Structures are given as structure tokens and as C-alpha cells.
């Protein structure tokens, strides 16, 4: 079955080797690739150049690079995202944008994940006309632009995206659905529609109300790298994570990690997690119509009453008072 997986993958993508790491070459300008865990196997679906191709096989989890830029987005469930020599658990709503130097793979059991592959040529044609608006571009556009221009193409870098709030991002998912439709069907002007949709996808990734993003440089010092991973882990759990869970995930003593965080951010793990929980609570109160009970549940509080006292002790306002105050400021 694994041989079948390899054969089918080779039909979809050419294969090159650099530094003994397989390099997958996507021949299409833009392509969507889905993997979904089903009864111990993987349903592979590829959408590109007006065709949909699918098959069921074993999970292809070989560490590899891509000749294209790749966006990984978890649609449902969870996956293990292997990046270089580390492993991270990604949950629904989390995403990762890889440059072409990152070696990565994934392990899927009950998850459903999407990969968007963007060729260098397609991206260059898209970004070159807007490159003179550099001062108005966010981190995602700069990340891609600098790589294409050769400024950062030697670095092993990626951007990690975590949902700002634990509420499903319908805008982003609708854009992905529209992209799938454009890639699967033949339409006049499809190239322009695809470029427009990709621009909107990239812009939504930069929307601070939808995602928190963090650029990770693999070649940073050990301390910087660990601090980045620790911060990302706390934020991905909206501050609701124990020191034991942190130790199990990062494989480092929590006291050591606590000292590192205090050294770099002047905050302990507990204080940083508390700040994140309050920040997320404020965002949900300001930007959604969720009830206080629903917000408490979304952020992992054991009860509405506990959330009420937790929030008030840190802001001097009850959740309701805070929501009213912010509404009056608009």
C-alpha cells in the first residue's frame, strides 16, 4: 500500500533530491492538496489545473522540501507537524507557511489538513506589481517577497498562524472553498480570479482579528528558538495550559523554560498565560456576540462564575461592564 502511495504521489509531483532530502516539485502554478485520516488510511485529494484526483493509501510522512511555497491549514481534528527535527501538534484552525528551505512532513490519524502549493513564478507575477507598496505590506507579504527577491531565500524559515479566538473563521474557510472551485473548473479569466483569491487569503492571514502569526527562524540560537516555541504553545492554547503539558510538549524542564521566558520577556509562564487569557477574553467580548458563559467555555474556564471573578480581578470590570464600555467607545 505504501508503494501505491509513492506511485500516486509521483504522478502528482515530480521528485528531486537535495542534501539527501527528497524535494517535491509541484508542476502546477497553484494547487490544493488534501489529506484526511479514514480508518487508519489516508484519503488523498489533489485539485489543480481543472482536475480532481484522489486515492486512498498509507500516510506519506517522509521528511521533504518543496520547490514551491506551501501553506498547511488544519481543517478539522489534529495532526503532528514535523518540522526539521521537531514535532508539533496542530489543531483545527492552525496554519503554517513554509519557505522552500524547510524540511517537513506530517502524521495524520483523525485530522483533515489542506496544503496550498504556490509556485515561485505564480507568486512573483502576483507580488511584483504591488512590491512598491512595501510600507503597507504585512509580515506574510514581506516573508514571501524577501524570499523571491533572494534576500532571505537561504534561510530555513516559516510562519506559524494561530486563531486569535477559538471561533471558527468562516471568511478564511470560504476563501479556501472558492479557491478549490476555481482550480477544479475551467472558466474564462480563471488566472485573474485565482490571483485575486490568493491575495485575499494572504491578507486574511495577516488580519490580527483572525490570526496571530509568528515567524520562526530555524537557525536562531537555542534560547531564542525555545522562547519562540514556548510563546507559540501558550498562545495556541489561549493561555489555558499547564506547566506539565508544556514540559511534555517541548521536552524541557518547566523551571528552565520559565527562566528563559523571564529573561527574554520579563514575565513568568503563569503571568504570560494569564495575560493571554485576558487578552483573548477581551477580544471575544469586543468582536463577537457570544454570551459570557460561551466565552468562559471557549477559553477553558471551569464555570462562568470562575471566569467572571478571574476577569474582574484582572481588569477591575466585569465581562458585561467591559463589553458595554467598549461598545460606547466606538
pLDDT tens digits along 282-314: 989 998 889 999 999 989 899 999 999 999 999
* Regions in the chain scoring below 70 on pLDDT: 1-20, 131-136, 151-154, 220, 330
Q: Give the model's pLDDT for residue 301.
A: 92
Same domain, 117 and 22: yes
Q: Residue 318's domain spans which residues?
A: 220-329
Q: Give the model's pLDDT for residue 158.
A: 93
Beta strands in 77-138 (DSSP E): 78-83, 86-91, 95-98, 104-108, 112-118
Same domain, 111 and 249: no
Q: Give the model's pLDDT for residue 242.
A: 92
Q: Give the model's pLDDT for residue 245.
A: 92
Structural domain count of the chain: 2
Q: Give the model's pLDDT for residue 154.
A: 67
Same domain, 67 and 171: yes
Same domain, 185 and 212: yes
CATH code of the domain covering residue 291: 1.10.10.60
pLDDT tens digits along 220-241: 677 887 888 898 889 888 899 9
Q: Give the model's pLDDT for residue 92.
A: 93
Same domain, 150 and 298: no
Chain CA centroid to CA 175, Å: 15
Verdict on whether the full-model pTM lies above 0.75: no
Same domain, 171 and 32: yes
Same domain, 95 and 128: yes
Contact (Cβ atoms closer than 8 angstroms) between residue 322 and residue 311: yes
Same domain, 153 and 292: no
CATH code of the domain covering residue 88: 2.60.120.280
Same domain, 235 and 206: no
Q: Give the model's pLDDT for residue 187.
A: 79
Amino acid at each position: 500500500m505504501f508503494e501505491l502511495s509513492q506511485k500516486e504521489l509521483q504522478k502528482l509531483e515530480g521528485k528531486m533530491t537535495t542534501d539527501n532530502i527528497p524535494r517535491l516539485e509541484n508542476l502546477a502554478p497553484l494547487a490544493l492538496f488534501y489529506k484526511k485520516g479514514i480508518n487508519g488510511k489516508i484519503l488523498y485529494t489533489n485539485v489543480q489545473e481543472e482536475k480532481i484526483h484522489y486515492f486512498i493509501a498509507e500516510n506519506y510522512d517522509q521528511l521533504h522540501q518543496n520547490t514551491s511555497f506551501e501553506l498547511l491549514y488544519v481543517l478539522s481534528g489534529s495532526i503532528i507537524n514535523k518540522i526539521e527535527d521537531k514535532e508539533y501538534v496542530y489543531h483545527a484552525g492552525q496554519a503554517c507557511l513554509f519557505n522552500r528551505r524547510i524540511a517537513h512532513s506530517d502524521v495524520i490519524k483523525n485530522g483533515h489538513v489542506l496544503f496550498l502549493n504556490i509556485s515561485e513564478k505564480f507568486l512573483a507575477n502576483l507580488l511584483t506589481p504591488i512590491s512598491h507598496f512595501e510600507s503597507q505590506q504585512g509580515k506574510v507579504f514581506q516573508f514571501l517577497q524577501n524570499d523571491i527577491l533572494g534576500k532571505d531565500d537561504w534561510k530555513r524559515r516559516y510562519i506559524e498562524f494561530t486563531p486569535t479566538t477559538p471561533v471558527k473563521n468562516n471568511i478564511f474557510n470560504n476563501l479556501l472553498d472558492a479557491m478549490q472551485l476555481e482550480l477544479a473548473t475551467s472558466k474564462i479569466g480563471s488566472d485573474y480570479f485565482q490571483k485575486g483569491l490568493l491575495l485575499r487569503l494572504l491578507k486574511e492571514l495577516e488580519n490580527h482579528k483572525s490570526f496571530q502569526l509568528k515567524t520562526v527562524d530555524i537557525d536562531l540560537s537555542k534560547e531564542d528558538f525555545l522562547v519562540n516555541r514556548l510563546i507559540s504553545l501558550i498562545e495556541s492554547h489561549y493561555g489555558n495550559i499547564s506547566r506539565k503539558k508544556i514540559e511534555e510538549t517541548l521536552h524541557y524542564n518547566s523551571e528552565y523554560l520559565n527562566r528563559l521566558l523571564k529573561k527574554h520577556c520579563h514575565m513568568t509562564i503563569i503571568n504570560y498565560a494569564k495575560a493571554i487569557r485576558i487578552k483573548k477574553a477581551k477580544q471575544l467580548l469586543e468582536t463577537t456576540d457570544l454570551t459570557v458563559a460561551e466565552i468562559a467555555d471557549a477559553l477553558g474556564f471551569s464555570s462562568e462564575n470562575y471566569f467572571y471573578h478571574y476577569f474582574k480581578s484582572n481588569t477591575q470590570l466585569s465581562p458585561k461592564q467591559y463589553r458595554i464600555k467598549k461598545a460606547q467607545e466606538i
